[in-house]
Amino acid sequence: MPPRRPDSAPKFWECVDNLTKLHPDFLSVTFGAAGNDRSTALNVNEIIVRDTPILPIAHLTCVDTPSEQVAQIVDDFLAVGVRTFLALRGDPPIEKAEFHRDLKQIESAAELTYLIRQIDKRRQRQNIAEKFKSIARPLVICVAAFPNGNPELGTNQDQEIDRLLEKQDSGADFAITQLYYDSKVFDQFMSKCLKRGVSIPIIAGILPSWNVERLQRVKNSIKIAPSSGLVNRLNSAWSAEERERIGLDFWSAVSREAISSGAVGVHLFSFNQAESAILLANRLQDAIT
């Protein structure tokens, strides 16, 4: 998550440096509700493109934002060398209890995916150098998938597979799931995706945390309750070391079961704190390489 204050930037870049040592396939950089972190996110992605060997995935949201502004944001990211995006509908700004759509707004991640590709094609037509960039570094668009359904929209698993198929048809290259706790739910989701014709690769979203307060905060944010079994074991632990062991065992099992169910990899939500992600990644090296 891009640093929101100048004094938090050193900690942010320390986190990036530590995660880079894992040699991940990518680092995803969030964008904020309705693009509240737009300028900082653009700057962060530009630096990662320019100064690190790691591919950044720039999150983009379209909710509560005029289509012209969304198009300009896409243009800005492409201009600084970003070629991989996570196209999201996004959440309304926290300070807005209600928001209103109009006919000039993009309504879905599928529409955003299509728009990104159209803007890239337009840039290629206007500049031969952009055409070469597209050959050397093809545009890649990721989308979100929701094994538990999307609580915010009130959708169930089958409806979310319908939406994933729409995103795939709009030009999505792969998907990252929202975090989940129940491997059986994920396995069911992957099985249904295969039967329904989802052909893009799917990466499992994993939250490597054994901090009960953080798990509860995440629940308040995305409306997905943590595993009661995990929470009970963490609350019963006698020490920080035991909580770490319990958490690592739990998330390692969830990650390995995701791979067994057909996920091509795992996406670790770090929340700008690298330690737990590094511990889990090191535990999983034999499973995901």
* Phi and psi torsions of 253, nearest 5°: -65, -45
> Domains along the chain?
6-288 (3.20.20.220)
**pLDDT at position 268 over 70:** yes
On the question of pLDDT at 153 being above 60, the answer is yes
How confident is the model at residue 92, as a pLDDT?
61
pLDDT digits (tens, 9 = 90+) for 193-250: 999 999 999 999 999 999 999 999 999 888 899 999 999 999 999 999 999 999 999 9
CA distance 222 to 179: 9
pLDDT the model gives residue 65: 81
In angstroms, rounded to a whole number, what is the distance separating the alpha carbons of residues 201 and 243? Answer: 33
Tell me what pLDDT residue 6 has: 85
